[in-house]
Amino acid sequence: MRMYQELLNKNIKMSVVGLGYVGMPIAVAFARKVPVIGFDLNEEKINLYKSGIDPTNEVGNDKIKETTVEFTADESRLREARFHIVAVPTPINSDKTPDLSPIEGASRTIGRNLTRGSIVVYESTVYPGITEDVCIPLLEEESGLKCGVDFKIGYSPERINPGDKVHTLENIIKIVSGMDEYTLEQIANVYELVIEAGVHRASSIKVAEAAKVVENSQRDINIAFMNELAMVFDRMGIDTKDVIAAMNTKWNALGFYPGLVGGHCIGVDPYYFVYEAERLGYHSQIILSGRKINDGMGEFVAESIVKKLIHANKVVKQSNVVIFGMTFKENCPDIRNTKVIDIVNKLKEYGVTPLIVDPQADPIEIKKMYGLEVIDMHEVKDADCLVFTVAHNEFLNVSLDWIEQRFIDCPTHEKVIIDIKSILNKEDIKEKGYSYWRL
């Protein structure tokens, strides 16, 4: 009997290893169809899920309360499963090289609990070759089993967009791959249980691995181009958004905008590709240049803030700057690899310690990860400069009257507004007489 049929008949279980922004939605989706064990090393996170709380906001508390996923931090429970999905993060080290410790740790954990006849599918973003050259040996070492004989392997890159309630797991085409044709079909059939948009069968595991890092690298490069234009237009005194609005009237315009490029995918994946390319003797020309531009945008924004403060007759070191948004993107609580911290750190070099507002993020996590205090947006007062870095829904709905109440009592032209995501109406802001700048 094929594995997906055994899963449907509840003869065997599936496990999802790593229950973050990617793994948890996968586990919940599959649990509607088959028995699922959700494993994570973080017991605090597991307890939240068991209590019906979704700290990621990806599926919501109601669905967490209703799901049949068996959440656990006990790795021995993995022995009950025959189909394993690995969805742990793949970050980078301080020197921008891949940090494979999470995926290596997950492989060892599964290996210790692997049973004959199992299939292990990796979803974590890696450079081509990791699944077969790194993960398989670890699985074999820990289990004492032989890949291709006792168990099979596959790769299916995650494509979930955190915070996106439109492009969800079910309606994004899923790339799947396997070590042989039989395994490929097994994996494809299992994913087809929940992926309504269908699956794309890649010709090999390495092709599937490459597709993931390349699609994010492509987006990174396009945003870097817009960021470079924004920096040049700033010197020219031209509004970048106005240029883009004109450009986008052409049918084949790509529709990219400048901005801070952080998070756990676009801001990280290109380095995985570059690392392997350089190991093979090729030095990246375009990808690294794009990364350099995007990694420098926080500093550019911070220096633009300082310039506007000076032009508004402010003493920079005494200025009360409030940053609205600490997450890496809108309507998402994820603060990992947020580029807003680059703005904060650069401002500190000028003697400015900004206040942070973010209704989406966990204040405890911000304090733990970045050492910053968070205040409620309605408590902001006596500000010299308001910096809108992230387009959270809460910020989209603020009125000019509300904004006015956040400022210190001074002439309007000395009140600085920095609008990185262009969420405010430029004409209304300028008509009021504020000192305004947007990326």
Would you please indicate which residues are annotated as catalytic (active-site) residues?
Answer: 265
DSSP strand pairing (118-122 vs 81-86): parallel
- Per-residue burial over 174-205, b if 16 or more Cβ lie within 10 Å, else e, is bbbbbbeeebbbbbbbbbeebbeeebeebeeb
Q: Which of 342, 329, 335, 360 is nearest to 161 (CA)?
A: 329
Lookup: tokens for 71: 């959440």
What is the three-class DSSP state of 199?
Answer: strand
In the chain, what is the straight-line distance between the N-terminal and C-terminal CA atoms, in Å?
Answer: 57
Tokens standing for residue 367: 């304090």
d(CA 324, CA 322): 6
How far is Cα 157 from Cα 124, in angstroms, rounded to an integer? 6
CA distance 188 to 121: 11
397 burial class (0-12, 13-18, 19+ CB within 10 angstroms)? Answer: exposed
Half-sphere exposure of 80 (CA within 13 A, CB side): 17
Longest Cα separation, the chain: 76
